[in-house]
Amino acid sequence: MTLIPLSHGRCSLLIRLIGITFLSLGLSLPVAAQSLSDLLAIALKDEPTYQGTVAELRAAQARNRQMIGAFLPQITASVNTNANQRGYLTRDLNVLEQKDRYNSHSWQVNLSQPLWRYSAIADKEQANALVGKAKFELAAAEQMLFSKVVEAWLDILMARDQHDFTLRQEQAAQQQLAIMERGSVLGVHGLPQREEAYSKYLQSQAETQMALADIEIKRAALEQLTGALKSLNLPTLRDNLQLPPLEASSLPDWLNTIIVHNPDIEAARKARDAAREDVSKQGAGFIPTVDLIGNYTQNSQAVGGFPGQNGYDITQSYVGLQANWALFNGGSQFAKVQEAKALLEKAEYALENTRRTVMNNSKQAWYSGLVSQAKIRASQQEMIATNIALTAARQGTQSGLKSELDILQAQQQRYAAQRDLAKGYYQQLIAMIKLKTLAGTVTHQDIAMIDGLFIDDAQESGQ
């Protein structure tokens, strides 16, 4: 076998390619690699948007508990004590001014029990609707987080596959350049062919750098969901995968399920209900309120109301009914009702917009899945064709009918078919998860199923 000497630049190229491959993918780090399930667990714990939705649910539940207080007795107590100084001067000039210094104190307890407050009833119904809205928003955020983590992870795998492909292209371009240089020395190839090979080699280097940058960009998108990752294992797909076809359920079946169970639609529906209750609450400003009230008061004073009088203790109590009715408030309450009605109309439109958006996203995910399935079938056939072409190229080289360039081209076509086949699987998984996300049915079992489609190269080689 003839050995082609490598220049200093080519040696440094090999070292650089090996280094960036292992450093960028984190495969050299001796730490336990994360599965997709591990990444999802990290995201559920640390992702800010999701955690903010969790906090919003707690806040809505706390507001709901506040509304219960409007139906319960309100009891207040007050106590005071005063040091008093009083001067008493009559209009009789023969009587001298008299002065007193004394203490007075009092305490009282007030009770108010609402008997009829329609606004409190509307407040409670509105709070219930807002709790329901927050629950559905949390469900939607969880489903969306599942989908985002899956898509970000698969995007990295697609970028990794593209990087591997460009590395092989660069290596093939380097081999082709070496062949042209050797042919140039032997007089078989001319200078234009060598320069063209050198140009393709430089272009392949640029594409490798672009692919490497894309890996880092995709990893940054994943870390936006999980936070910084010390290491990230990128497994490979198992051979002979069989994903369930989307046609197992028709598009109308999917849409019927999604329109009923989509958490975003349910949240918008609860927001509409809360806006409707706000109309009732503002309208309650025109309705009288009735309360049961009670009071117990005790006043004590060391001296009487006039000099020379004895001090006293007064005890007073009462129980009664109190009705309040706002007869006129300058039209502000009427304006509040009109505002609430306008916000209800806005909530109706928001619900319809959410419904249409979800339907559009569902159709996009469905048809993307169908396209991915077609790509998978085409790539599977391309794998068969490229394997035959590579075998023929190798056999042709032995018989002298093919050259090393033919083998390189056949290998590159096979690598491209492998990359496209894996990309088709990734895109079908993304479409499937998006559909289940829109239906609100993604579970940890789905994530475990996706994990099962991959194999850890490092673990496999260790076994």
pLDDT in tens, 123-145: 999 999 999 999 999 999 999 99
Mean pLDDT over each residue of the chain, to the nearest integer: 86
Q: Give the span between the Cα atoms of 62 and 39, in whole angstroms.
A: 31
Which residues, in sequence order, are CB contacts of 207 under 8 Å at separation 6+? 166, 169, 170
The residue assigned the tokens 């005790």 is: 298
Please state which of the ranges 59-68, 229-238, 361-370, 402-411 shows the lowest mean pLDDT: 402-411
- The radius of gyration of the chain's CA atoms, rounded to the nearest angstrom, is 39
The pTM (predicted TM-score) of the whole model is 0.80
Structural domains of the chain, ranges and CATH numbers in brackets: 8-46+117-288+325-458 (1.20.1600.10)
Higher pLDDT, 294 or 11: 294
Quick one: pLDDT at residue 152?
Answer: 96
Quick one: pLDDT at residue 394?
Answer: 82
Report yes or no: 104 and 85 within 8 Å, Cβ to Cβ: no
pLDDT category of residue 247 using cuts at 50, 70 and 90: low
Secondary structure, 3-state, the chain: CCCCCCCHHHHHHHHHHHHHHHHHHCCCCCCCCCCHHHHHHHHHHHCHHHHHHHHHHHHHHHHHHHHHHHHCCEEEEEEEEEEEEEEECCCCCCCCCEEEEEEEEEEEEEEEEEEECHHHHHHHHHHHHHHHHHHHHHHHHHHHHHHHHHHHHHHHHHHHHHHHHHHHHHHHHHHHHHHHHHHHHHCCCCHHHHHHHHHHHHHHHHHHHHHHHHHHHHHHHHHHHHCCCCCCCCCEECCCCCCCCHHHCCHHHHHHHHHHHCHHHHHHHHHHHHHHHHHHHHHHHHCCEEEEEEEEEEEEEEECCCCCCEEEEEEEEEEEEEEECCCCCCCHHHHHHHHHHHHHHHHHHHHHHHHHHHHHHHHHHHHHHHHHHHHHHHHHHHHHHHHHHHHHHHHHHHHCCCCHHHHHHHHHHHHHHHHHHHHHHHHHHHHHHHHHHHHCCCCHHHHHHHHCCEECHHHHHHC
Q: Which two tokens stand for residue 211?
A: 């692919």
Mean pLDDT along residues 267-285: 94
Secondary structure, 3-state, 219-247: HHHHHHHHCCCCCCCCCEECCCCCCCCHH
Mean pLDDT along residues 265-272: 96
Q: Give the span between the Cα atoms of 402 and 394, in whole angstroms.
A: 8
Quick one: pLDDT at residue 27?
Answer: 41
Mean pLDDT along residues 294-313: 86
pLDDT category of residue 264 using cuts at 50, 70 and 90: very high
Nearest alpha-carbon partner for 248 in 239, 257, 261: 257
Q: What angle do CA 318, 322, 324 make, to 5 degrees?
A: 155
Q: Is pLDDT of 263 > 90? A: yes
Question: pLDDT of 179-196, one tens digit each?
Answer: 778 777 767 667 788 888
Q: Is pLDDT of 4 > 60? A: no
Alpha carbon distances (Å) from 123 to 64, 273, 326: 9, 12, 19
Please state which of the ranges 38-42, 239-243, 394-398 shows the lowest mean pLDDT: 394-398
